[in-house]
Chain A
């Protein structure tokens, strides 16, 4: 628990690191932070054209009983996926990048990863908002939108836990970073993001459902697209997996990170 209070004591550092990342990101651009709005919006537009006009993929009917836009169905999943992968990859990169700093000044080594998560969380919130706005425009509205912030909390715990473990092992063995790259691609297709879950065979479905990311993606679709509340089984998987990932990840990290400054 001392670790948690220590992190709290360094909240200003986390805030500053996050700010530095955001400031540096848009430093020399005219539109600045608008890019974090333009990027997802244009992505959504491209998907709409590719999947709606050229490929004519038909997604399930949305919660309001009429909307049927694959681009939105896809985007709801991508928001979660992007947040997850950016947090994990960002944690690995953040620890490695702050090596020079950790060697010279003491601060809790989890700070850079947390700061990075905050910047990508901001992006996830922007994307979620864009999605909500489009959905409202299409008349697909419901109280299930409130599920999205709750979902972000669980995804945060899950990906931070995972990211911390991987980041500290990556300091010792650089292979971890490369393996994560491959594994992420695999996981992307093992998660029903570009396809609806019910097109896979029944037996495969059962396995895929156990993947926490499947549940995260489904929650996001439930919130914005299907407008329904997730079931008990799904909730159990989400809560247990994210809390477990966080607790184990944090613990491993705090043990391993003690000597991390010497290795960086």
Chain B
């Protein structure tokens, strides 16, 4: 087919921001100055084409205009300038379960929501069983949805939205809600729809997924197209920019917080923690699956025999991820005084991207007495590398080639439950297989 499924031609979108919304006529009349209204352009001259059957990603910071663009594609907003031409029935998943009525049962809400998405009663009748099955709600379907857990709510909403059999599906980050298992099913289902020829436009921060599954992508930055290319390249460029921004930000923070950390009074004082990259140069962040050295600077105020250091790593959810510590020596060791440092060398940083706090402690040579302890002394920021770590950590393993019976028969198109073994974000699965 030559006509694209979606064609966006030089679209501009202006929003009026009311400082103080003139919600009443009086305000409008009394403040004749219209200066109160500020305009801002959410989208500036955005053009893109999505061919039929493509899986298209939209990435960018919060507020970059991704969601506005998606709403324009869905017909909810009108472009201020330019035009959008779509070819095919559109279903948008901007918020799951939008339009659910709390007092109505799941069954009644399925019919209602399907109608909102443009389905006729007969079509809904036909799809009803599949919707219920996919949602996994079973007997709860006749319970008013106000008694549903938020997870059940979302499952039902997603189930309705994807069974509408759209030709074009617009998805806005909705999959981020719900538990892991459900997320996986959502991604599986998106892949299945795509194999069926459905055109999908996805707005998400799950960059690994975009990289692995999308054909093309657009990176929006403050309403403008920053890059538009094969999804993998666009994501790479975007990640690089995000990392650069983060480094700038951290350096500012470090510069601002450098004073006032000196501590006295203990035999050994932990002064600061420093990160070194593969070349031994200081770096503000660690990178997933890259070498990293954590250097702990300390000062012995009095002569002390071979102090032992350890640090605890906690992630953002306060999960205690790791706790490497030095072991007490078997024989007598040198005595130190004054400044010194100790390195903890990591061949491959197996942590997934995110922020971790380090609590650093110093013990005496026997490992019995705590000499110093710095609670949450340091924030270790880990940024994504070329391969993504999905989950808490990488397992540092590798994949062997497949074993089994080979055949000359042609492969049958995948049916049923594909990709049960691979996590949805394929970044980590590709590790040894590439």
Q: Which of A18-41 contact B (CB under 8 A)?
A: 19-20, 23-24, 27-28
**Residues of chain B contacted by A19 (CB below 8 angstroms):** 108, 112
The one of B15, B24, B74, B92 in contact with A173, judged by C-beta atoms closer than 8 angstroms, is B24
Beyond A16-B115, A24-B101, 20 additional pairs, beta carbon < 8 A: A10-B115, A12-B115, A15-B121, A16-B111, A16-B116, A17-B112, A20-B108, A23-B103, A100-B98, A104-B95, A105-B74, A105-B94, A105-B98, A105-B116, A106-B92, A107-B118, A175-B25, A175-B26, A259-B78, A261-B77
**Residues of chain B contacted by A173 (CB below 8 angstroms):** 22-25, 28
Give the number of chain B interface residues (Cβ < 8 Å).
Answer: 33
- Within the complex, the shortest CB–CB distance from A218 to chain B, in Å, comes to 34
Decide if A103 is an interface residue (CB 8 Å cutoff). Answer: yes
**Residues of chain B contacted by A202 (CB below 8 angstroms):** none
CB–CB B99/A105 < 8 A: yes
**Residues of chain B contacted by A106 (CB below 8 angstroms):** 74-76, 90, 92
One digit per residue, 1 when the CB lies within 8 angstroms of any chain A CB and 0 when it does not, for chain B 96-121 equals: 00110101100010011001111111
CB–CB B23/A20 < 8 A: no
One digit per residue, 1 when the CB lies within 8 angstroms of any chain B CB and 0 when it does not, for chain A 91-110 equals: 00000000011111111000
**Residues of chain A contacted by B103 (CB below 8 angstroms):** 23-24, 27-28
Nearest B residue to A262 by beta-carbon distance? B77
CB–CB B76/A20 < 8 A: no
CB–CB A104/B76 < 8 A: yes
**Residues of chain A contacted by B94 (CB below 8 angstroms):** 103-105
- Within the complex, the shortest CB–CB distance from A155 to chain B, in Å, comes to 27
Q: How far is the CA of A134 from the CA of B103 in the complex (A)?
A: 36
Nearest A residue to B24 by beta-carbon distance? A175
Residue from A10, A104, A173 whose CB has the most chain B CB atoms within 10 Å: A104
One digit per residue, 1 when the CB lies within 8 angstroms of any chain A CB and 0 when it does not, for chain B 71-82 equals: 100111110000
Q: 29 A–B contact pairs at CB < 8 A?
A: A9-B118, A10-B118, A13-B116, A13-B118, A16-B116, A17-B112, A17-B115, A19-B108, A19-B112, A20-B108, A23-B103, A24-B101, A27-B103, A101-B98, A102-B76, A103-B71, A103-B94, A104-B92, A104-B99, A105-B74, A105-B92, A105-B94, A105-B116, A105-B117, A106-B75, A107-B116, A173-B23, A175-B26, A259-B77
B interface residues (Cβ-Cβ under 8 A, vs A): 15, 22-26, 28, 71, 74-78, 90, 92, 94-95, 98-99, 101, 103-104, 108, 111-112, 115-121, 144
One digit per residue, 1 when the CB lies within 8 angstroms of any chain B CB and 0 when it does not, for chain A 236-264 equals: 00000000000000000000001101100
**Residues of chain B contacted by A24 (CB below 8 angstroms):** 101, 103-104
Q: How far is the CA of A125 from the CA of B27 in the complex (A)?
A: 42
One digit per residue, 1 when the CB lies within 8 angstroms of any chain B CB and 0 when it does not, for chain A 148-179 equals: 00000000000000000000000001110000
Task: Using known A-B contacts A12-B121, A175-B25, determine if residue A103 contacts B76 with beta carbons closer than 8 Å.
Answer: yes
CB–CB A20/B24 < 8 A: no
- Within the complex, the shortest CB–CB distance from B147 to chain A, in Å, comes to 13
The one of B76, B92, B95, B111 in contact with A261, judged by C-beta atoms closer than 8 angstroms, is B76
- Within the complex, the shortest CB–CB distance from A19 to chain B, in Å, comes to 8
Q: Is the interface of A mostly helix, strand, loop or mixed?
A: helix
Q: How far is the CA of A262 from the CA of B39 in the complex (A)?
A: 13
Q: How far is the CA of A23 from the CA of B101 in the complex (A)?
A: 10
Nearest B residue to A100 by beta-carbon distance? B98
- Within the complex, the shortest CB–CB distance from B16 to chain A, in Å, comes to 8
Nearest A residue to B15 by beta-carbon distance? A262
Q: How far is the CA of A75 from the CA of B25 in the complex (A)?
A: 37
Task: Using known A-B contacts A24-B101, A106-B92, A173-B24, determine if residue A101 contacts B78 with beta carbons closer than 8 Å.
Answer: no
CB–CB A16/B112 < 8 A: yes
- Pairs A-B, 8 closest by C-beta atoms: A16-B115, A106-B75, A104-B98, A13-B115, A104-B94, A175-B25, A104-B95, A16-B112
Q: How far is the CA of A19 from the CA of B15 in the complex (A)?
A: 35
Residue from B76, B98, B115 whose CB has the most chain A CB atoms within 10 Å: B115
**Residues of chain B contacted by A27 (CB below 8 angstroms):** 103-104, 144
Q: Which of A93-147 contact B (CB under 8 A)?
A: 100-107
**Residues of chain B contacted by A105 (CB below 8 angstroms):** 74, 76, 92, 94, 98-99, 116-117
- Within the complex, the shortest CB–CB distance from B141 to chain A, in Å, comes to 16
**Residues of chain B contacted by A17 (CB below 8 angstroms):** 112, 115
- Within the complex, the shortest CB–CB distance from A102 to chain B, in Å, comes to 7
The one of A9, A13, A20, A258 in contact with B104, judged by C-beta atoms closer than 8 angstroms, is A20
CB–CB B112/A20 < 8 A: yes
**Residues of chain A contacted by B115 (CB below 8 angstroms):** 10, 12-13, 15-17
Nearest B residue to A179 by beta-carbon distance? B25
**Residues of chain A contacted by B28 (CB below 8 angstroms):** 173
Q: How far is the CA of A195 from the CA of B120 in the complex (A)?
A: 47
- Within the complex, the shortest CB–CB distance from A171 to chain B, in Å, comes to 10
**Residues of chain A contacted by B111 (CB below 8 angstroms):** 16
**Residues of chain B contacted by A13 (CB below 8 angstroms):** 115-116, 118
Task: Using known A-B contacts A13-B118, A100-B98, A105-B98, determine if residue A258 contacts B76 with beta carbons closer than 8 Å.
Answer: no
**Residues of chain A contacted by B104 (CB below 8 angstroms):** 20, 23-24, 27
Q: How far is the CA of A96 from the CA of B112 in the complex (A)?
A: 19
**Residues of chain A contacted by B101 (CB below 8 angstroms):** 20, 24
Q: How far is the CA of A24 from the CA of B23 in the complex (A)?
A: 30
The one of A12, A28, A262 in contact with B120, judged by C-beta atoms closer than 8 angstroms, is A12
Q: How far is the CA of A259 from the CA of B78 in the complex (A)?
A: 7
- Within the complex, the shortest CB–CB distance from B249 to chain A, in Å, comes to 32
Q: How far is the CA of A12 from the CA of B78 in the complex (A)?
A: 25
